[in-house]
């Protein structure tokens, strides 16, 4: 349908947006989906997009807003509102943020399925959230085992151990500060993971991700016993972890070191 609408009128491309649902978003994997959204925002001059208008007319009865004085319990169209039948029904005033680079994540996940939309342009359904941020360092923290552990301790799980990644919980996650050298090293590793996943979604990046997790443990100044609490399969011995030069550390009061791991 997208190629047909654009072939009929090239301006159609301006309102046809690549579209992600929560199940499309995977940890460290560049966004990928074959779904598209016709985004006819509030106030759009629909006559400027004749191919889109002709397409939407086929569904006009189902797109009509319910009249305020509608008495019948059955209504074929959409909910009551001040939108025109060809417009989206909610006033998404922040829609320009979709066009920018952003960290995205699904609302339900077993783990921290955070990734980054570096190109911008992906639009999201209500099963996804995003953070207006283009920083691989922040992505590394959010996708780490340590932050996942903290999140499990501070939010409610649903059936099957799944977590609800609601914004009111995510916004409270303690983000460590670090010097620029440390950030650069972590960013470089994240870029390697993203590049590998871009080339092959099934690429084995476990070693790189384990190194990122190690750097995160050091940023939050975790002891070896605390690391084992977070990551029982941790690959370093106590001697190696404690003897290694940790390099620059993060700010130790990052939510009092994740509230002393609860």
Provide the pLDDT for residue 123. 92
Same domain assignment for residues 149 and 220? yes
Provide the pLDDT for residue 111. 87
Same domain assignment for residues 127 and 171? no
Q: Quick one: pLDDT band at residue 253, thresholds 50, 70, 90?
A: very low
Average pLDDT estimate for 115-127: 89
Q: Quick one: pLDDT band at residue 260, thresholds 50, 70, 90?
A: very low
Same domain assignment for residues 101 and 45? yes
Task: Look up the pTM and report it.
Answer: 0.85
Asked if the model's pLDDT at residue 120 lies above 80, the reply is no
Provide the pLDDT for residue 190. 97
**Top-confidence residue, 217 or 92:** 217
Could you read off the pLDDT of 21-33 as tens digits, one per residue?
A: 999 999 999 888 8
Range of the domain at 199: 145-154+167-261
Provide the pLDDT for residue 252. 46
Is 140 within the bounds of a domain? no
Average pLDDT estimate for 142-169: 87
Provide the pLDDT for residue 245. 58
Same domain assignment for residues 129 and 195? no
Is 162 within the bounds of a domain? no
Q: What is the average pLDDT value for the chain, to the nearest integer?
A: 89
Is 159 within the bounds of a domain? no
H or E segment to which residue 128 belongs = strand 128-131
Asked if the model's pLDDT at residue 208 lies above 70, the reply is yes
């Amino acid at each position: 349908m997208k190629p047909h609408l654009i072939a009929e009128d090239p301006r159609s491309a301006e309102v046809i947006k690549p579209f992600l649902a929560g199940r499309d978003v995977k940890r460290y994997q560049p966004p990928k989906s074959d779904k598209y959204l016709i985004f006819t925002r509030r106030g759009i001059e629909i006559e400027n997009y004749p191919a889109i208008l002709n397409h939407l007319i086929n569904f006009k009865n189902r797109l009509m807003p319910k009249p305020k004085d509608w008495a019948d319990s059955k209504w074929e169209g959409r909910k009551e509102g001040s939108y025109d039948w060809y417009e989206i029904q909610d006033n998404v005033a922040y829609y320009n943020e979709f066009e920018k680079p952003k960290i995205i994540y699904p609302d339900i996940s077993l783990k921290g399925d955070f990734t980054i939309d570096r190109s911008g342009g992906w639009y999201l359904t209500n099963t996804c959230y995003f953070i207006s941020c283009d920083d691989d360092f922040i992505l590394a923290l959010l996708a780490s085992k340590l932050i996942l552990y903290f999140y499990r301790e501070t939010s409610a799980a649903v059936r099957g151990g799944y977590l609800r990644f609601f914004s009111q919980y995510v916004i409270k996650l303690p983000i460590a500060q670090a010097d620029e050298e440390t950030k650069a090293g972590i960013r470089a590793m994240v870029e390697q993971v993203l590049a590998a996943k871009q080339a092959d979604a099934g690429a084995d990046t476990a070693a790189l991700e384990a190194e990122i997790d190690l750097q995160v443990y050091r940023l939050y100044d975790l002891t070896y016993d605390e690391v084992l609490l977070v990551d029982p399969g941790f690959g370093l011995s106590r001697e190696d972890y404690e003897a290694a030069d940790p390099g620059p550390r993060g700010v130790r009061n990052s939510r009092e070191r994740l509230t002393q791991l609860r």
